A and B are shown apart, each in its own frame.
Chain A
């Protein structure tokens, strides 16, 4: 990957008009180098303002950075230039989902599916949104749309999802993959504080480019994860996590 980035960077340096900015910015985005990705993509959009793919790329980068309004603007521009651009429909479907506008999210995801019927990512996201619309109540663990929330997930000690949902920025469902990777986090957090003589752990905060996460243990060996965009102040995360943990405990108590 880094070899590709070096090659494409060299190509772009020698030929600033090259379309190589598209794979270069995407590779930087995937590596989490969002500032660099944004600079490259913005350069490309200025040079090719009528290229829908460039606006789509800009939308992905801005979405990863948590710049929701700017991401929406980029994808809207992309669709104005090319109404059948699947990536832009998926991106807007995700942003609408995050904003709680499930009907609009549904329309964008259905458009994406009409354009590429075998797109498994769009299909999974569409099923998720349809499922939420069909439910009389929102997902049991908290309200995933409150406070610009990007997802809430409750995971058992075996790495299985107990409730909630966690979506990637392209709208695909990351719940099961996240749940599997989070198996053992409670145990490891407990071991860390035990061996360091720090008492009992109660919260784990993570900051990633474009998203912050907070984790708590509502019950022994279960893990509650809340993901928020960077627009939610860091200081609010503990309050939101405490509230979600209380809700999760009640929900699990009801299950028995």
Chain B
């Protein structure tokens, strides 16, 4: 699992502008596997992305929907993506602001599907 996860994360990081990809436990917000560029604070990304995903999952359940399959937080200096990876895991990516968001989205959904 870990080798396969590592391979999947590295595929995500090949997209230009992706600064790191992590497999994160949704409940704990801890890193399970990571492929990060220098300067990316992995534990912070994991904890914050899991927390935001969990909070928004409660909101979508209030709407009668399942938890989000994909979250994309866009900021002026970059973006955070989080995809449900099955078995309580999240696939998280941190990117530059000018990344191809469509490509990251598809790549994460594909990777999350393979990890599920």
Residues of chain A whose beta carbon lies under 8 Å from any beta carbon of chain B: 31-32, 64, 166, 168-170, 172, 174, 177-178, 180-182, 184-185, 188-189, 191-193, 195-211, 213, 227, 234-235
**How close is B66's CB to chain A, nearest CB, in angstroms?**
2
Q: Point out which of A32, A168, A184, A235 has the most chain B C-beta atoms below 10 A from its C-beta.
A: A32
**How close is A134's CB to chain B, nearest CB, in angstroms?**
25
User: With A185-B59, A188-B51 in contact, is A209–B69 under 8 Å at CB?
Assistant: yes
Q: Tell me what chain A mostly uses at the interface: helix, strand, loop, or mixed.
A: mixed
Q: Which residues of B contact A170 (CB under 8 A)?
A: 64
What range describes how many residues of B lie at the interface? 35 or more
Residue contact A198 to B66, C-beta cutoff 8 Å:
no
C-alpha gap A114/B87 in the complex (Å):
44
Confirm or deny: B114 has a beta carbon within 8 angstroms of a beta carbon on chain A: no
C-alpha gap A178/B41 in the complex (Å):
31
Q: Tell me what chain B mostly uses at the interface: helix, strand, loop, or mixed.
A: mixed
**How close is A157's CB to chain B, nearest CB, in angstroms?**
14
Q: Which residue on A lies nearest to B53, using beta carbons?
A: A206
- Sample of 9 more A-B contacts, CB < 8 Å, known A201-B73, A201-B75, A206-B70: A174-B62, A178-B62, A185-B52, A185-B59, A192-B73, A200-B77, A201-B76, A203-B74, A208-B66
Residues of chain B whose beta carbon lies under 8 Å from any beta carbon of chain A: 41, 44-45, 48-49, 51-52, 55-56, 58-80, 94, 97, 102, 105
Q: Which residue of A32, A166, A198 is within 8 Å of B76 (Cβ)?
A: A198
**How close is A119's CB to chain B, nearest CB, in angstroms?**
16
Residue contact A206 to B56, C-beta cutoff 8 Å:
yes
Q: Which residues of B contact A211 (CB under 8 A)?
A: 60, 63, 65
User: With A191-B48, A198-B75, A205-B71 in contact, is A168–B63 under 8 Å at CB?
Assistant: yes
Q: Point out which of A180, A201, A210 has the most chain B C-beta atoms below 10 A from its C-beta.
A: A201
Residue contact A189 to B52, C-beta cutoff 8 Å:
yes
User: With A208-B66, A235-B102 in contact, is A193–B77 under 8 Å at CB?
Assistant: yes
Q: Which residue on B lies nearest to A200, using beta carbons?
A: B76
Q: Which residue of B48, B97, B105 is within 8 Å of A192 (Cβ)?
A: B48
C-alpha gap A195/B76 in the complex (Å):
14
**How close is B22's CB to chain A, nearest CB, in angstroms?**
12
C-alpha gap A201/B94 in the complex (Å):
14
C-alpha gap A115/B97 in the complex (Å):
54
Residue contact A209 to B76, C-beta cutoff 8 Å:
no
**How close is A152's CB to chain B, nearest CB, in angstroms?**
13
C-alpha gap A188/B44 in the complex (Å):
13
Residue contact A207 to B74, C-beta cutoff 8 Å:
no
Q: Which residues of B contact A32 (CB under 8 A)?
A: 65-67
